[in-house]
Structure 1
């Protein structure tokens, strides 16, 4: 492993040596590290790459879930500062993970964050969506499928749904309450770090203009990247996404 510091929040890609910069990848709602692991592998030649594991999933299935954004972002920022061992970091978030990465970037600031990269998610506060996290199971999970977080064929697997639903509901509560507050409050202050926003050509869950609206949430350089692929870029196009991230970071550096 490329750091001597261990944390239950982060899972790295083993390799030799210590890179100058560390990258932390935040997966989509309800997901664990497996959904961003291949992207971390693709980026491990450039960064010490780590997937973020939130409570309530995978090896942390028994840990209490997080549903309040400021509390979660505070914990992640503190953990990440310790884990990165003083190095600059790049924060990457996919879909709902983009908003969590944004709030962590706000707390760490430009002294620590070299860049923020987001994919497949509207800029926080730019779109209103009614809360769905309290809906009955069938209605809630249909929304999850619509949002691209869960394959529709899994809806018949009650045993699996019993495992994944609590983390999904927690993440929806976390994001929906936070983003609705921003929308009704007129938005949020931008972060002073370079930002890259990525959209897949065939992603029908979010409009490219909504992804491009991240430009209003940074006072640093901004770059919008459009890639072949659908909503789930880290899993379906990890090599293409990794190449785009490297190129875009070089451009905004």
Structure 2
């Protein structure tokens, strides 16, 4: 939720914007983590229906959250979802994943550093790693197991909602072709938006990301 806090502020004049805090993080550090995508998406869809109170929603997911947002959009459908916006993540099923979450601790954490999700200097802080490693492993298992299944068994079901895929010019974790692949997961209008910056667009460039979201949604309307 910290990742998207400033983005929510940037969008708050036009949207009832809020972030989702998954278990194993921040104030939910002691809650059991989620590792099965369909179960998590079911829970989030139910919670969003209660929060929206009949209003349409725009779903935004960054990085692994993009896959989660897509699955929630599948469950809610076009009657509830005005648009799906994803950033900094390949289309689910477009990239072969490996079971990184099952690696021994040193190998797993080194992969997290290589992927750009953990500063290398934190590898020396064993106390902190004890706290954050369970949530990191859960994230990798949640998304990688789900996307590996899609890769091996066929792409996911397209959602009939406008979809916007955003990526940073300097993001080494995702290739433009894998962003373009989101087009196969929607039967609605589709746009790709590229922005200056790297992987962490919501925290590093929230104003530019918010502006891009507004512009893309207007174009998709």
TM range (shorter): over 0.9
Specify the alignment match of 1:6 in structure 2. none
CA distance in 2, matches of 1:240, 1:88: 24
In the alignment, does 2:105 pair up with 1:126?
Answer: no
On the 8 A contact 1:148/1:232 being kept in 2, the answer is no
Candidates 209, 213, 219, aligned match of 1:245: 213
CA distance in 2, matches of 1:34, 1:229: 19
Higher relative contact order (CA 8 A, sep 6+): 2
Task: Using the TM superposition, name which of 138-147 and 233-242 deviates more.
Answer: 138-147
Specify the alignment match of 2:56 in structure 1. 88
Measured after TM superposition, the shift of residue 141 of structure 1 is 1.1
SS at match of 2:166: strand
Specify the alignment match of 2:43 in structure 1. 75
Alignment TM-score, normalising by the size of structure 2: 0.98
In the alignment, does 2:92 pair up with 1:146?
Answer: no
List, as ranges, runs of 4+ consecutive aligned residues in structure 1 with deviation greater than 4 Å: none
Question: Mind listing any 5+ residue stretches in structure 1 that lack a counterpart?
Answer: 1-32
Question: Mind listing any 5+ residue stretches in structure 2 that lack a counterpart?
Answer: none
CA distance in 2, matches of 1:152, 1:249: 37
CA distance in 1, matches of 2:54, 2:161: 17
In the alignment, does 2:116 pair up with 1:183?
Answer: no
Please report the RMSD computed on the Cα atoms of aligned residues, expressed in angstroms. 0.8
Please state which structure has a larger fraction of its residues in helix.
2
Alignment TM-score, normalising by the size of structure 1: 0.86
Aligned residues: 221
Specify the alignment match of 1:43 in structure 2. 11
